Structure 1
Amino acid sequence: MNAKTADKIATGVFVTVAAFIVLLLAGLLGYILFRGVGHISWHFLTSAPETIRKGGGIGPQLFNSVFLLVLTMLITIPIGLGAGIYMSEYAPANRVTNAVRLIVEVLSSVPSIIVGLFGLLVIVNLFGFGFSLFSGALALTVFNLPLMVRITEQGLKGVPREQKEASLALGLSKWKTITSVMLPIALPVILTGTILSAGRVFGEAAALLFTAGMSSPRLDFTNWNPFSPFSPLNPFRPAETLAVHIWKINSEGLAPDAGQIAAGASAVLVITVLLFNFGARWLGRYLYRKFTAIK
């Protein structure tokens, strides 16, 4: 077999495998959306499960998912940025640093159910936060922090060395160089990774079963006191997120239209995650053109 024939065969195999994966993904997404989009309505998105006929709204669960996402990113972004900047620009190249990078890589591949069990033992029981949104946010921070650190470090290392050296040569301090020269250039990569990690948070369920809980108090959306147990803004109340709600309603099957509720909620979850991904790509391209002056 000559080189051209081998190249054609290899190309055909790769194209076939890629097409199969794309068709499989498109079929899966199409099936979920086909089953669920017809059940989505404004009433479905804003009503509580017990206030709609046949028991089918996802309003509180959708709010809990968004609130949990905000809490998680408020904790993850500052820590992840700081750790990524340190690992990229300040950490010495030695065995300790290499060990930290290895630990970060290992943490990024830990199953989310293990993170949930860790959260149950340490955050919920040892620290005494109980089943709450805050416990879930801390557990998801452990789950998402390695990705945030790695994205920040890689984004900063992708900055051309000449620009960094030129800034230092002009007399700027190292910190000023990082904040004024390197971070703006690395910002598209960091923001894209941040939005993608936010999509992972929104769709997570396993870790939240053991930390945020599988039920929510009856929320009073007219009560905005964050210390009230029935306030939607209270971060220390138990909360059932949208992904957990899908699992729960399928496993219990108490609602007469559980299949329709799960299908609609799954479609909402898939659409939201897709929006996160497309938004990340669009924002990354926009910021790259803005900071590089490429039209």
Structure 2
Amino acid sequence: MNAKLKDKIWTGILYVISGFVILLLMALIGYILYKGGNSLNPSFLFGKPKVGEAGGGIGPQLFNSFYMLVISLIITVPFGVGAGIYLAEYAKEGLLLNIIRLCIETMASLPSIVVGLFGLLVFVGMTNWGFTLLSGALAITVLNLPSLTRVSENAIVAAGKSVKEASLGLGATKWQTIKNVILPSAIPQILTGIILASGRIFGEAAALLYTAGMSAPVLPFDNFSLVGKSSPFSVMRPAETLSVYIWKLNSEGMVPDATAIANRSSAVLIIMVLLFNLIARILGKKIYESYAGKK
């Protein structure tokens, strides 16, 4: 068997595997959307849950999911990208760097239920905050920080190879090079890490069960406060996200049409993740083109 024939065979096998992965994803999404039915009904998306009655909505849970996403990214992105910059540009090979990498790899392998129990002991118990949105966001940060750090580090190292020496040779300082040259070039890869982190925020349930709680009170939106528990914008109130609500519906069956609501909620969750990925990709491309001078 000659080299060209071997290449064609293995290329065909890779195409088959890739096609199978795509079909599997399409089948999964299609099945969820089919079972979800009319999940984009406004009365369902923005309605209130009805305890013991059929026909409830997911308005509070949907708001809590997006609010959890925002708060968690506000905490995760600066620390994750900052740690990536340090590891890629400032850290020197040695014992300290080996310890940091070991800690990152260990944190990345932690099961979400273990992080949830840690959050219950620390963010809920030791701080006396109770079940709050902030406790949930911090638990999610513990889960997402290692992966975002590694993605940011790899992106910065890859982007810096071709442009770093040129920038320094033109007289720019190291920080100017990182801020104005390397980071813009690494934005697409870093954005990929942020998208992965966001997807985990949308889909995570185990860690949030023990930290953010399982109650979604209907709160007035005309009351703005970051700490008052009667405000929907408060980070110090319980916040039941959509993924936790789906778990609760399937485990407790507290309404007659629990299965139907769980299916429709799952469809909404899938649609939100797909839309977020699409918008983030387009936004990242536009940002990269603006820095690169492309139109």
What TM-score do the two structures reach when normalised by structure 1? 0.91
Give me the whole-angstrom Cα distance separating, in 1, the residues matched to 2:38 and 2:55: 17
| 1:204 alignment counterpart | 204
Give me the whole-angstrom Cα distance separating, in 1, the residues matched to 2:96 and 2:150: 17
Question: 1:55: how far off?
Answer: 4.3
Question: 1:294: how far off?
Answer: 5.1
| 2:89 alignment counterpart | 89
Question: 1:51: how far off?
Answer: 8.7
How many residues in Structure 1 have an aligned counterpart in Structure 2? 295
Q: Could you say if the C-alpha distance between residues 287 and 186 of structure 1 is closer, same or farther in structure 2, counting changes exceeding 3 Å?
A: same
Deviation per CA, 1:227-258: give whole Å up to 9, x if none: 43221011111111000000101111121111
Q: Could you say if the C-alpha distance between residues 256 and 101 of structure 1 is closer, same or farther in structure 2, counting changes exceeding 3 Å?
A: same
1:231-242 aligned at under 5 Å gives the runs 231-242=231-242
Matched residue type, 2:34: F
User: Conserved in 2, the CA contact under 8 Å of 1:39 and 1:260?
Assistant: no
Percent of residue pairs identical: 53
| 2:130 alignment counterpart | 130
* Larger deviation, residues 105-114 vs 129-138: 105-114
| 1:33 alignment counterpart | 33
Give me the whole-angstrom Cα distance separating, in 1, the residues matched to 2:187 and 2:14: 33
Matched residue type, 2:111: P
Question: 1:86: how far off?
Answer: 0.9
Question: 1:5: how far off?
Answer: 4.7
Give me the whole-angstrom Cα distance separating, in 2, the residues matched to 1:5 and 1:176: 51
Q: Could you say if the C-alpha distance between residues 51 and 125 of structure 1 is closer, same or farther in structure 2, counting changes exceeding 3 Å?
A: closer
Question: 1:20: how far off?
Answer: 2.4
| 1:192 alignment counterpart | 192
Deviation per CA, 1:68-125: give whole Å up to 9, x if none: 1111011111111221111111111113213312321332232211211111122111
Matched residue type, 1:289: E
Q: Could you say if the C-alpha distance between residues 279 and 205 of structure 1 is closer, same or farther in structure 2, counting changes exceeding 3 Å?
A: same
| 1:20 alignment counterpart | 20
SS, match of residue 50 in structure 1: coil
Give me the whole-angstrom Cα distance separating, in 2, the residues matched to 1:55 and 1:270: 21
Q: Could you say if the C-alpha distance between residues 52 and 268 of structure 1 is closer, same or farther in structure 2, counting changes exceeding 3 Å?
A: farther
* Larger deviation, residues 267-276 vs 192-201: 192-201
User: Conserved in 2, the CA contact under 8 Å of 1:132 and 1:211?
Assistant: yes
Give me the whole-angstrom Cα distance separating, in 1, the residues matched to 2:274 and 2:105: 26
Give me the whole-angstrom Cα distance separating, in 2, the residues matched to 1:221 and 1:191: 31
SS, match of residue 224 in structure 1: coil
User: Conserved in 2, the CA contact under 8 Å of 1:193 and 1:280?
Assistant: no
Q: Could you say if the C-alpha distance between residues 67 and 158 of structure 1 is closer, same or farther in structure 2, counting changes exceeding 3 Å?
A: same
SS, match of residue 38 in structure 2: helix
User: Conserved in 2, the CA contact under 8 Å of 1:192 and 1:283?
Assistant: no
Question: 1:127: how far off?
Answer: 2.4
Stretches of structure 2 that go unaligned for 5 or more consecutive residues are none
Deviation per CA, 1:154-192: give whole Å up to 9, x if none: 221122435322322333322222112222222232233
| 1:269 alignment counterpart | 269
SS, match of residue 204 in structure 2: coil
Give me the whole-angstrom Cα distance separating, in 2, the residues matched to 1:64 and 1:44: 15
SS, match of residue 38 in structure 1: coil
What TM-score do the two structures reach when normalised by structure 2? 0.91
Give me the whole-angstrom Cα distance separating, in 2, the residues matched to 1:158 and 1:202: 29
| 1:226 alignment counterpart | 226
Q: Could you say if the C-alpha distance between residues 247 and 86 of structure 1 is closer, same or farther in structure 2, counting changes exceeding 3 Å?
A: same
Question: 1:30: how far off?
Answer: 0.3
| 1:146 alignment counterpart | 146
User: Conserved in 1, the CA contact under 8 Å of 2:80 and 2:148?
Assistant: yes
| 1:282 alignment counterpart | 282
Give me the whole-angstrom Cα distance separating, in 2, the residues matched to 1:64 and 1:275: 17
Q: Could you say if the C-alpha distance between residues 13 and 143 of structure 1 is closer, same or farther in structure 2, counting changes exceeding 3 Å?
A: same
Question: 1:10: how far off?
Answer: 3.2
Matched residue type, 1:230: S
* Larger deviation, residues 249-258 vs 218-227: 218-227
Question: 1:276: how far off?
Answer: 2.0
| 2:107 alignment counterpart | 107
* Larger deviation, residues 5-14 vs 29-38: 5-14
Deviation per CA, 1:201-229: give whole Å up to 9, x if none: 12211110111011133322232233432
* Larger deviation, residues 239-248 vs 10-19: 10-19
Question: 1:22: how far off?
Answer: 2.0
Give me the whole-angstrom Cα distance separating, in 2, the residues matched to 1:94 and 1:248: 48
